[in-house]
Amino acid sequence: MMEQVTVIKIGGNIIDNESALADFLKAFAATPGKKILIHGGGKLATRLAEQMEVPQQMIDGRRITDAETLKIVTMVYAGYINKNIVAQLQAQGVNALGLCGADGNLVLAHKRTGAAHDYGFVGDVDAVNSTLLQQLLDAGTTIVIAPITHDGQGQLLNTNADTMAQAIAQGLGSHYAVNLVYSFEKAGVLLDANDDNTVIPTINPDTYTRLKTEGAIFAGMIPKLDNAFAALAKGVSRVIIGKAQELPQLIAGTSGTTIQNG
């Protein structure tokens, strides 16, 4: 039987709430076994950009990463947020190491091309250095990853954190039984985006197709679900989406929405 690894992506609204983040990190620290945490931090990046008078453009909720914005998101994601999380985990007795995709050639990406809009210095993942991750995990290190990648030619890129989590989980799939958890402020995939009591317990491809056709899944959840099914197709054992405040239950599969192939 393959050893388990839990890959957890934490939502931006949790990162932006100091007490919620502290509570989440306590639960994360108490999670047994090998684990990796992936984070973004878009709200803080937006506030810093405003303070620095760097205009921010969004298309369909996605940030346009121009050259100045790339500097800001790198400072925020790979700098303050990443190291703040690492420091809090160290205080919990967890030997955490903070990385971005450029460190140790962890995540290689290319600048997105062919999209309907030019998103600037946004990176789509090409490769994950799973050997490095395996070495760190086997040494007892808990890894905290910021979604800044690189193209191998000296260019940093801003990569979607959900996609980063999917790629990291897939990269580990041949070495471990990987559980991928998307944790955020909602209770799971909801029939009513404003009602946590409408959680859909399980979603398979047929259910997903039907719900999308019916317009029952709100638009912001669709990329997350697409990432989830892509991860399952590439060797990830299980994907769960749910509330960060219920992390132990999510990992146990007793809360949130479980995404499954069959």
Query: Annotated binding site, which residues?
Result: 41-42, 63, 158
Nearest to 170 by CA among 106, 226, 237, 222: 237
156 strand-pairing partners: 150
Sign of CA pseudo-dihedral 162, 36, 182, 200: positive
Sign of CA pseudo-dihedral 160, 166, 172, 174: negative
Residues 6 or more apart whose CB falls under 8 angstroms from that of 5 comprise 33, 34, 35, 36, 137, 172, 175, 176, 177, 178, 179
Nearest to 161 by CA among 11, 7, 6: 11
Per the CB < 8 A criterion, the answer to whether 54 and 159 are in contact is no
- Strands 142-146 and 96-100 turn out to be parallel
Query: Annotated binding site for substrate, which residues?
Result: 41-42, 63, 158
Nearest to 4 by CA among 27, 35, 28: 35
Per the CB < 8 A criterion, the answer to whether 253 and 239 are in contact is no
